[in-house]
Every structure is written in structure tokens, then in C-alpha cells.
Amino acid sequence: MVATDNVQKTPPEEATFNLAAYLKERQKLCDTALDQAIPIIYPEKIYEAMRYSLLAGGKRVRPILCLATCEMIGGTIEMAMPTACAVEMIHTMSLIHDDLPAMDNDDYRRGKLTNHKVYGEDVAILAGDGLLALAFEFVAIQTPQSVNRELVLQVIARLGRALGAAGLVGGQVVDLESEGKSDISLETLNFIHQHKTAALLEACVVCGGIIAGASPEDVQRLTRYAENIGLAFQIIDDILDITSTQEQLGKTAGKDQKAQKVTYPSLWGLEESRSKAQELVQAACAELEPFGERAKSLQAIAHFIISRNN
């Protein structure tokens, strides 16, 4: 009897929600849509270079967040898929440009040679530009007519902002300026990650919500959820850079320490960084409580972010 009681007390969503299967299925949907988004036509080299990095087998956390939020608010996968593809294109473009010799000068990414190591620096720069252009074109053309046109424009504006000087690009500039300096303040570190990592994650979540017609209050909750998982995501990234091998990460490990980079673990230590990430994920999940059962996928993804090992 006691055992039966315990089983009944388990919240049904936790008992029935299989995150691994969910992520696998969504990843496959995203991979298929991304594959179809870019043909190989003349001049083949640029399309191949764009596809090389875009289809290099990322976890698709960003597009999956976008789709999951759209569904939570009451929209469909079809409504959000073009935006989901766009955020992955933008993310991939930022990786291609970040890896260039003039930037972080990285040879490996997602377990493969970086774009410029395969196609040359010139084509890698252009492949990034091409992905970026396609991201906006794709949202504008492919988003179904069932999504209000004004909302599609809001999505495009938010993607532009998340990517530009007020987002990714701004964060990367401060990151480059901070390199080799060991006296970076927590404020500066937060600025870097809020812009380099969290801004695009926030855009994924909020744009997914907007497409489904989220209310201003919903958008605020989604924003706070995204801010929290964004920071947690970065803390875990910093921890993994220390504790993982290149094989596990698919990219160069131990880079931060080698570059004497200020990171969350370098400021707080590994243990406190881990518990801070844990707190952030709990706060993120709490924001979604008003959505009840429908929030289960976004809550599970939040927990996944801090349990991942690559």
C-alpha cells in the first residue's frame, strides 16, 4: 500500500516525460529542417561550407527551446520551425566567425575541423555571412501565414538585436578586450555572458512564445526563465572547459585556463559554481509554474542544461 501511495504521489509529468526521447525526436526534426533549408547549387563551395558547420551535429538546444516554448504557449511546431532554424543558423555563424584565426583561432568544433580549416578563412567569413542572411530570409519567407505578420517582424527584430552589438557581437567584443586580463570584474564577466550566450538563448525562448501569441506577462516570465538558464548554461560551459577532455567536448578543452581567462569557476571555485547553476535552474523552473503541466519540457530542458557533459 505504501509503495502504491508513493507511486501515485509522483507528479505524472515527471513519471511520464522521457526527456532523452523528447530531445532525440526534436533534434531529428531540427536536423531535417536545417538540411532542407540549404540546397547545394552553384557556386557549390559556399553552400557546402554553410552546410558543413550547420549540419555538424550540434545538440540543437536553441531550436528545441524555441519549439518547446511555442508549444507551451499554445502554438505548433510548424509555426516556430523557421525561427528555430534561424537561431541555429545565427548560432552556427557566430561559432564560425569566433573560431577564425583573427578571433579565438580554434581548430576544432563539434568534434570536427573548424570551417576555416576546411574551406579557408575567406570562405569561412562568407559562410557565416551567408548563414546570417539566410536566417532572416528564412523567417520572413517560411513562417506560415497562420502567424500574424506583425509578430513575425517582432521575431526578426529580436533575432537582429540578440545577434548585433546589443547582443552576441557586443559580448564577443568585450570578451576579446578582456583576454589575458586577470582582473576582470564579475560585472564584466556577467556582461560578456549575458550578451554572448544568454541573449540568443533568450531570443530562442521569447521568439517561440511570441510566435504563439504570448501575452506581455508571459513574455516577461519567459525572459526571466531564459536569463536564468542562459547564465546556468555558461557556468556549466566554464566548468566543462576545466573538467572535460577535448573528446568529450568536441572542441578544444582547457582553453580558458590556458588563456588565463576569468571564468565563474575561477572566481567562485568549481563547487560553488555548480550550486549556483543549480539555483539558477530552480529559479528558471519556478518562473514557469503558472503554465502547469505544459511547462514540463522547458523545465526538463533547464535541468538537462546543467547535467550535460558536452
Site map 57..96 versus a second copy, x via CB under 8 A: ------------------------------------xx--
List binders of a second copy among 10-49 (CB under 8 A).
Answer: 43, 45-47
- Please tell me whether residue 112 adopts helix, strand or coil conformation: strand
Site stretch for a second copy (CB under 8 A), options 21-29, 125-133, 274-282, 286-294: 125-133
Size of the site for a second copy (CB under 8 A): 51
Half-sphere exposure of 121 (CA within 13 A, CB side): 8
Cell of 82: 523557421
Selected from 13, 31, 78, 137, the binder of a second copy by CB under 8 A is 137
Burial code of 204-239, b = ≥16 C-beta within 10 A, e = fewer?
Answer: bbbbbbbbbebeeebbebbebbbbbbbbbbbbbbbb
Quick note: the x/- pattern for a second copy over 174-213, rule CB under 8 A, is x-xx------------------------------------
- When the beta carbons of 161 and 294 are compared against a second copy, the nearer one is 161
Does the protein bind a second copy through residue 122 (CB under 8 A)?
Answer: yes
In the list 63, 75, 82, 167, the residue contacting a second copy (rule: CB under 8 A) is: 167
Phi-psi map region of 108: left, alpha, beta (phi>0 left; psi -120 to 50 alpha): beta
Quick one: which of 159, 203, 295, 305 contacts a second copy (CB under 8 A)?
159
CA distances in angstroms from 208 to 134, 147, 201, 232, listed in the order given: 19, 11, 11, 20
Would you count residue 102 as binding a second copy (CB under 8 A)?
Answer: yes
DSSP secondary structure string, 31-94? Answer: HHHHHHH----SSHHHHHHHHHHHTS----HHHHHHHHHHHHHT--HHHHHHHHHHHHHHHHHH
Q: Dihedral angle at the C-alpha atoms of 137, 138, 142, 145, nearest 10 degrees? A: -50
Calpha distance 104→248 (Å, rounded): 20
Of the candidate spans 99-107, 240-248, 263-271, 276-284, the one that interacts with a second copy by CB under 8 A turns out to be 99-107
| Least distance in angstroms from the C-beta of 220 to a second copy | 20
Site for a second copy contains 141 (CB under 8 A): yes
Would you state the cell numbers that stand for residue 284, as one nine-digit string? 528558471
Nearer to a second copy, 46 or 61 (CB): 46
Query: Smallest gap, in angstroms, from Cβ of residue 155 to a second copy?
Result: 8
3-state DSSP assignment of residue 276 = helix
Which region, judged by CB under 8 A, interacts with a second copy, from 26-34, 68-76, 166-174, 212-220?
166-174
CB of 207 vs a second copy, minimal distance in Å: 12
The answer to whether residue 268 forms part of the interface with a second copy (CB under 8 A) is no
Can you name the residues that pair with 113 across neighbouring β-strands?
Answer: 108
Give the number of C-alpha atoms closer than 13 A to the C-alpha of residue 120, restricted to the C-beta side.
Answer: 5
Q: Point out which residues bind a second copy (CB under 8 A).
A: 43, 45-47, 50, 93-94, 97, 100, 102-103, 120-123, 125-126, 128-130, 132-138, 140-141, 149-150, 152-154, 156-157, 159-161, 163-165, 167-170, 172-174, 176-177
